[in-house]
Amino acid sequence: MDMQGKIWRDKNGVCHVEGNDRREVFELMGYAHGNDRGMQMLLMRILGQGRTSELLDSSDEMLEIDKFFRRMNWGGSTSAEVAKLSPAARETADAYNRGVNKLFAEKIPWEFKLFGYSPEPWSTEDSILISRMIGYLTLAQSQGEMERLFIELVQAGIDEQRLHELFPGILGGLDIDLLKKIKLQERIVSPASLWNMAAPLMMASNNWVVSGRKTASGKPILANDPHLEVNRLPNVWCEMVLKTKDRYAMGGTMPGVPAILVGRNHDLAWGATYTFMDSTDSWIEQCKNGEYLRQPDKWIPFTAREEIIKRKKKDSVKVIFYENEHGVLEGNPYDEGCYIATAWAPSFSGAVTYNSAVKMWDAKNVREGMEILGYMESSWNWVLADTQGNIGYQMSGLMPKRREGVSGFVPLPGWEEKNNWQGFEKPADLPRCYNPESGYFVTSNQDLNELGKVSPINVGMGPYRSDRIGSLLAAKNKITREDMYKIQHDVFSTQAESFMKILAPLLSGVGSAKVLQEWNLQYSADSEGACLFDRFYRELYKQVFGESGFGRMAAEYLEEHTGIFNDFYINFDRILLAEKSHWFGGRKREDIYLQAAEKALQGPVPKWGDLRKLVLKNILFNGKLPRFLGFDRGPITIIGSLATPHQGQIFESAGRQTSFAPSFRMVTDLATDDIYTNMAGGPSDRRFSQWYCSDLNNWLTGTYKKVEVASGGEKIPFK
C-alpha cells in the first residue's frame, strides 16, 4: 500500500487518511500514529510494562514507577482479551498493528537510539495495555486514594460523627476497631513519586449537548473539553480524520489505540468525561505464615507473583506480589496482621472495550451509540447527538455488584464471603437519559446517580461547573458554536458565589477586604479578587480540617502536595458551608470565616495570572534539556480555577507540579460535516517538526480551527 499517497495534512497539520475500506483506514491510522506519536506510544508501553529501569533510567525514582506498574500487572492478561475480540475488532487491530510496524520498520524515534532501545513489534496486547492505562491513571486511582485517606482518618482518631459528615451515606459496613488494625504500607501524606514520565494525569472534564430545539442551526450541537494535564508535550490527544468512500470519523484519538475516542462520524457525535464511578474496592485480609483467613477457620496460601525488574548498569531487583481473589495485597503476609487487598474492576478488561470502539465507526443514532458505549469497561460519561435531532447521555464502566447496604467505599472483612463482588451491573441500569425535556444535558464529573437504577458514584466532584454551564444553556435559545466557545472559556465560579454570600457581609469594606467584596467572582488572569478568595479558601481548609481535624501539618500537606482537596472538594465544601458542624470544634462558622479572612487579606495582592504559570515539558526529557533547544514551551498562563467551567488547576502532586485544564476543546454542530477544535500542543511529538506545538497559540487565544472531511485548501504532504 502506498501510505504517502493516502495520508496528508490540512493547513493546520491535522492528519487525514483515506482508504478503500475500514481495514485500510486503520492500517493507515497505525502508520500515522507511529509517525506522529511513535515516541509517546513506545514510552507509554515501556511505562505500562514496568520497564523504565531496564530501558531508560535506572534511578531509584524509576524503580518505584516500575514497581507500581508491575503491581498493577496490566500486561499480564492481555493475551486472553485478544482471544475474545470480535472478527471486526480483530481485523481492525491487525490492520492497525501492520501500519504501526511498517512505520517502525522505516524509522524509530531518534530519542530511543540515545538509550540503545530497539522496540519490539507493536501488538494488540499493547493497545489493550494502553486502554487500561487510560482508564485508570489518576481517574480510578483517585478513588482509591480517597478510600485510603478514609482509613488514615480512622486511624488518626477522627470520630464517627465527623466521618459521617465528610462521607455522608456511604459508610455502610463501617467497623472502626477493625480499620484501626490495618497495617498500611503507604500513606497519602508520604506518597512515592509515580508520575514523572509519559503517563498523563487525567481528572476532570466538561461535555454537554444541546438539542436542535435550542440551536440556531436546528440541529444538535455537542461540546467536549477534557480537563487533563496540559504541562506536557506532546498533548495526550492526537486529532485525526479517517475516511472511506462512504463513511468518515474524526476527532480526538489517543496514540496506541485504534479508535476515535471523542468526535463524530456521518450521523453521530460523542464526547466523554470521567464519572468517578467507584470501581476500586479494598478488603481487609487477616494474614499469617503467607496465608489468609476464610470463614470459619480456613487458611489459604496467597499466590506469589515474582517480578524481576532489570536496571541499566545496576543489579536487578526482585519484587514479590501476593495475590488472591481480592487483588494484590499491600504488605507481607508472613508478617502476621491485617492488610488490605485492592482490586480495580477493569483490571482484566479490554476485549469488550475494543469491540465497542470498533462498532462506533458504523453507529448511526443516539440510541445505538448509547448501547455501544454503555459496554465500555472503564468508566465514562458519554453525551451523544445525531443528525436526526436526538441527544442522550450514557454512563459506562464495570460497576461491581455488592451486597445490600454497602457502597464499596469502606474496606470490608475479606474473610466473609458475603463481602465479595457478585458480578457487575448492566449498562442499562447505569445513569442515562434520552432527549431530556430541558433540551440539553451537561456532565462535569458531578453526581449523576439519580439518573440510574444503581448508584455508581460514592465521591465525585461538585456540581459547580455543571450548574454554571446548565444555567448558561437554559438562559439562551438559538445557540451557536460561538456560544459554546464562550462557555468553554467561562471563568465564573458558583463555588465562590456560595462562600461569598456568607463572607462578604462580615468584611469591613476597606483595603483588600473591599477588593474581595467587590470581586466579580471571575477567575480571569487580571483578577486580584480571585487571589484573595483563593487565599481565604485555603486558609479556611486549614482552620477547619487542620485545627479541628487532621492536624494543621497534615492538612497543609494534603493541600499543597496532593490532589485530594482539588479532586473531592465537594465533600469538604459541604462542611465549610454548613451553619454548624462537628468539624468546627465548637466555634461559630462566622468566627472561623473571619479568622481565615484576616490571614488571607494580609500582604500584597498579585493578579491571578501571576500565580498561574506553567512550562509545557517534553514527556521524555522532563525539563532536563536547555530551554533554547525548544523541547519545552512557555511559560503559559492558565485561567480559571477548580470549580469554573474553564478549569484551571495547578498544584503539586507526587512531588512535581501538575495541572488540570482543557487539554483539547471540541465543538461540533450536526448541521455540517466538521468539528472546531484547539489543543495545548500540536499533531506531532517530533521536536523539529513544524507541527510539534503548532496549535498552542490557538489554544491560548481561544481560536478554533475548522477540521472537515473535505478540506478545500492545500493538501500538505505527510512526513
Q: How confident is the model at residue 211 (pLDDT cuts 50, 70, 90)?
A: very high
Residues 541 and 565: their CA atoms lie apart, in Å, by 9
Query: Mean of the pLDDT values across residues 7-11?
Result: 95
Q: Domain range for residue 499?
A: 494-610
Lowest model confidence (mean pLDDT) among 26-35, 197-206, 350-359: 197-206
In tens, the pLDDT along 645-662 reads 999 988 765 556 778 899
Residues 353 and 376: their CA atoms lie apart, in Å, by 5
Please report the pLDDT score of residue 189 as a whole number.
42
589 or 134, greater pLDDT = 589
In a domain, 561, yes or no: yes
Please report the pLDDT score of residue 576 as a whole number.
96
Asked whether 670 and 221 are in contact (CB, 8 A), the reply is yes
Written as nine digits, the cell of 560 is 499543597
What average pLDDT does the structure give for the chain? 92
Q: In this model, does residue 188 exceed pLDDT 60?
A: no
In a domain, 141, yes or no: no
Query: Mean of the pLDDT values across residues 229-251?
Result: 94
Residue 524's CB: how many other CB atoms inside 10 A?
17
Lowest model confidence (mean pLDDT) among 174-178, 325-329, 468-472, 568-572: 568-572
Q: In this model, does residue 198 exceed pLDDT 80?
A: no
In tens, the pLDDT along 304-319 reads 999 999 999 999 999 9
Please report the pLDDT score of residue 712 as a whole number.
65
41: Cβ contacts below 8 Å, ≥ 6 apart: 33, 34, 100, 122, 130, 255, 256
In tens, the pLDDT along 268-301 reads 999 999 888 999 999 999 999 999 999 999 999 9
In a domain, 578, yes or no: yes
Q: How confident is the model at residue 563 (pLDDT cuts 50, 70, 90)?
A: low
In a domain, 515, yes or no: yes
- Report field, pTM of the whole predicted structure over 0.85: yes
Please report the pLDDT score of residue 142 as a whole number.
67
H or E segment and range at residue 431: none
Residues 272 and 270: their CA atoms lie apart, in Å, by 7
116 or 4, greater pLDDT = 116
Q: In this model, does residue 137 exceed pLDDT 80?
A: no
Please report the pLDDT score of residue 2 as a whole number.
64
Please report the pLDDT score of residue 5 as a whole number.
59
In a domain, 152, yes or no: no
CA atoms within 13 Å, Cβ hemisphere of 247 = 16
Query: Mean of the pLDDT values across residues 629-639?
Result: 95
Q: In this model, does residue 425 exceed pLDDT 50?
A: yes
Q: In this model, does residue 539 exceed pLDDT 50?
A: yes
Lowest model confidence (mean pLDDT) among 10-19, 201-210, 246-255: 201-210
Query: Mean of the pLDDT values across residues 95-109?
Result: 97
Query: Mean of the pLDDT values across residues 327-348?
Result: 94
Dihedral of CA atoms 67, 68, 72, 77 in degrees, nearest 10, equals -50
Residues 235 and 692: their CA atoms lie apart, in Å, by 9
H or E segment and range at residue 646: none
Q: How confident is the model at residue 705 (pLDDT cuts 50, 70, 90)?
A: very high
Which ranges of 172-326 would DSSP assign to H, the alpha helix?
176-179
CA atoms within 13 Å, Cβ hemisphere of 468 = 26
Asked whether 314 and 157 are in contact (CB, 8 A), the reply is no
Written as nine digits, the cell of 557 is 500537606
Please report the pLDDT score of residue 569 as a whole number.
85
Please report the pLDDT score of residue 196 as a whole number.
43
Domain count, the chain: 1
Residues 317 and 203: their CA atoms lie apart, in Å, by 32
Q: What is the CATH number of the domain that holds 533?
A: 1.10.1400
In a domain, 604, yes or no: yes
In a domain, 518, yes or no: yes
Q: How confident is the model at residue 430 (pLDDT cuts 50, 70, 90)?
A: very high
Please report the pLDDT score of residue 187 as a whole number.
58
In a domain, 501, yes or no: yes
Written as nine digits, the cell of 11 is 493547513
